[in-house]
Structure 1
Amino acid sequence: MAERVDGLRPRFQQLQYAFTAHLRDPEQHPGPAGIEERRLRVYRELFYNNVEGFLANAFPVIRQLLPDAHWHGLVRDFYARHQCRDPLFNGVAEEFVRYLQDERGTPPEDPAFLPELAHYEWVELALSIAEDAPHPDRAELGAGKVSLADPNGDLLAAPPYVSPLAWTLGYDYPVHRIGPQFQPGEPGAETTWLVVYRSRQDEVRFLEINAVTARLLSLAEEQPEASGAELIARIASELGTAATSLMAPGLAMLQGLREREVILGTRRPAPPAT
């Protein structure tokens, strides 16, 4: 039976906790007694470099914008403070976004747009590995495949089918324009609306849209049985204008989204249960 040193954990677990605490934050937690400093340093560098290297690849714009000392201080703070819940290494990027949004706070040296830029960069990674099939005719129901969308359907008469790999996102900052030559200090005057989507060629693409298009996509997902004409009429009502005045531009909007594979066609009725 394992020896217990505190009435709660066996001794080997105490050593494990001390070792991992030291790896995460060596300034606050000394290494376990009896382990050579040279060996501890090898492990510290190995673990930190793995995490830092992955984050640098996942957030290339942030890495480019922040000076080395600022970047490494940020990563070390995340590494020491945040408890990751995702066991997969790809989940570290999402955990980093969560840390920036909920735990980091607002240090004066951080750009105010940092949490939103991190989310925007994470979306590209998340969509690139998402398992949802972008092709409507690949959907699995029961033992076989069925077509969920008619790619040539009438977008006014039938419900538009929004790709499950098209995400409508709103940001206070124009995150898609941020880079070395443009780093805004204040939010934009209006919300920046973007659709980030994965094409049939498995390429992640970005499209800037306006608030009306964002509302149309949102309604199409909230009301999957509503036809394109009904969705446009709903938006016209919200804008306080006649539905007839929006039908032509609304149809052009839907067709443009279908050409870009944000909308995959029109939704087919669900097949009868067997």
Structure 2
Amino acid sequence: MQLPETTHQHQSALADYCRTGKYSAIPGVREQHVTQYRRLVYNVVDDMLQSAYPLTHHLLTTREWNALVQEFFSNHPCQSPQVWYMPKELYEYLSPKEHKLKNKYPFLLELLWLEWLEVELFMMEDRPAAYTTIGDLSTDELVLNPEHHLQQFQYPVHLKTAKQLTPADKGDYFLVLFRKPDSGEVNFMNLSPALVAMLEILQEGPQTMDALIRQCCAAWQLQLSPEIQAAAHAFITQSLDNRLIIGFKSKH
């Protein structure tokens, strides 16, 4: 049922006040009590942001964090109807801006994005895949966990605490985040570019370990060697253990 226009206007006025703190008379609302609405809504937003971005919250000073939350709360009209999704809008709010925090912490956006990816993977809808956990690593085709995300960063925000990062750390870093199918726990693995290529091949469909190694060597123009085979075998074995690779293609 559509709300009357006046009701919608009054709700919008109250929402604007909760965001900005600038009050204009609203029918049915007592000015002496309205500050409680803003305090309650602000606390919900602050709590959600702290829960989504604990590493960023720990990195920033109390003054920096409070100023950022107040700025976001006041200036950004959140769009998502899902409360858990709201923290992503902080990342989207900061991304296009010239901001003093981004100058002080050049890795800030990547840290926020890493933290948000963990939330998003944890909350994402299931992506079913047909597989079996029983198979022969030397002959059977491997099935990649479909609940994963490949990511490249310029700073090792996944490897070092944020307060330890310096401009000297800037480079090329690769990782994969994935959700374990049984527990729902979100893990990550640091990757080399060659291992990224291996996972990208598996994204296209199941492959045997031998075919996977040969395709990667061909793509990187590498001579297949015992060292490469051993490294690939170790990675695939580890990936089966931690469920980045969830199993083998079912034969039925």
Superposition TM-score tier, normalisation by shorter sequence = 0.7 to 0.9
8 Å Cα contact 1:150-1:265 kept in structure 2: yes
Corresponding residue for residue 46 of structure 1:
40
Does 2:6 correspond to 1:14? no
Q: Deviations over 1:22-55 (max 9, x none)?
A: 21112xx433256543212111111111101111
Structure 1 residue 244 displacement after superposition = 5.2
Number of positions where the alignment pairs a residue of Structure 1 with one of Structure 2:
244
In structure 2, runs of 5+ residues without a counterpart are none
Residue 115 of structure 1 and its aligned partner are, at CA, apart by 1.2
Distance between the aligned counterparts of 2:138 and 2:225, measured in 1? 12
- Aligned 1:24-173 pairs, distance under 5 A: 24-26=19-21, 29-32=22-25, 35-102=29-96, 105-110=97-102, 111-132=105-126, 139=128, 148-173=130-155
Distance 1:201 1:234, change over 3 A: same
Q: 2 CA distance for matches of 1:56 and 1:88?
A: 17
Q: Structure 1, unaligned stretches of length 5 or more?
A: 1-8, 134-138, 140-146
Distance in 1, matches of 2:46 and 2:219, equals: 47
The Cα RMSD (Å) is 2.6
Structure 1 stretches of 4+ with a deviation exceeding 4 A read none
Q: Distance in 1 between matches of 2:199 and 2:142?
A: 9
Check conservation: 1:23, 1:44, Cα contact below 8 A: yes
Higher helix proportion: 2
The residue type paired with residue 61 of structure 1 is: L
Q: 1:195 to 1:65 in 2, by over 3 A?
A: same
| Aligned counterpart, 1:179 | 161
User: Are 1:23 and 2:18 counterparts?
Assistant: yes
Residues 198-239 of structure 1: CA deviation (Å, up to 9, x unaligned): 333333223222221122112210x20443322222211122
Aligned to 1:136: none
Query: Is the 8 Å Cα contact of residues 141 and 248 (structure 2) preserved in structure 1?
Result: yes
Distance 1:10 1:202, change over 3 A: closer
- The secondary structure found in structure 2 opposite 1:126 is helix
Q: Is 2:141–2:206's contact at 8 Å kept on the other side of the alignment?
A: yes
Residues of 1 paired with 2:135 and 2:94: CA distance? 43
Displacement of 1:187: 5.4
8 Å contact from structure 2 (residues 175, 190) kept in 1: yes
Shift of 1:174: 0.6
Structure 2: distance between partners of 1:178 and 1:208? 12
The Cα of 1:188 is off from its aligned counterpart by 2.0
1:176-255 map, 5 Å: 176-179=158-161, 181-185=163-167, 188-189=170-171, 191-199=172-180, 200-221=182-203, 223-243=204-224, 246-255=228-237
Between stretches 232-241 and 173-182, larger displacement belongs to 173-182
What's the TM-score, normalizing by structure 2? 0.84
Contact 1:82 1:99 (C-alpha < 8 Å) held by counterparts: yes
